[in-house]
Amino acid sequence: ERRALQAQLAASEHDAERSQGEYRRRMAALRAILEDLGFLKGAVPTEKGLLASRIYGENSLIITEAITDGWLAELTPAELAASVVMVTAEDRNRDRPQARRRLPTSAVALAQKRLRVIYYRFSARERDRGENNFRPLSSDYVDFVYDWCSGLPLPAMQPPPGVDLGDAVKAVKGLYSALRQI
């Protein structure tokens, strides 16, 4: 019984050491990614890093980069909301083949392209370092949010195809939270 407990203790200590090593490796990788992207300089957050620290969410770095690039300021409030929801909402139709969608305005279409460039650039940095934390952009709720922010009453709106109204409202709540933090 003593030998079994000693073996169990040794295995547990080995697992703890391995976990600590993995934790250190991930922290070093994440720190390097943040430095590569300009959110940290050494161990100190840059101005961009401080802004990102106030925005909570999986893709807060993408939103921060879009803000610092300055092009979000060109959008109307409805276009801004429709663009930011691409980053904040979870893609419910990711596995379904999708026809190319027409977005509500050309400014939203341009914002989607710019957000994709940021997403792919940031995701590539993560992959290079063995991490994968960014959630893909979602266009599921763009029209719903654009219509709502343009003044269409909620009872007159239809959720996106294949999406529950509750999920659409949840996407709007996540968007609202992100916009308040910004």
Between 124 and 162, residue with greater pLDDT:
124
What's the DSSP call for residue 154?
A: G
Task: Report the predicted TM-score, pTM, of the whole model to 2 decimal places.
Answer: 0.79
Q: For residues 19-55, b (16+ Cβ closer than 10 Å) or e, as one string? A: eeeeeeeeeebeeebbeebebbeeeeebebbebbeeb
The string of pLDDT tens digits covering residues 65-79 is 999 999 999 999 999
Which residue type occupies 109?
A: A
| Cβ–Cβ under 8 Å, residues 148 and 172 | yes
For residue 96, what pLDDT is reported? 55
pLDDT for 45 beyond 90: yes
For residue 95, what pLDDT is reported? 57
For residue 64, what pLDDT is reported? 94
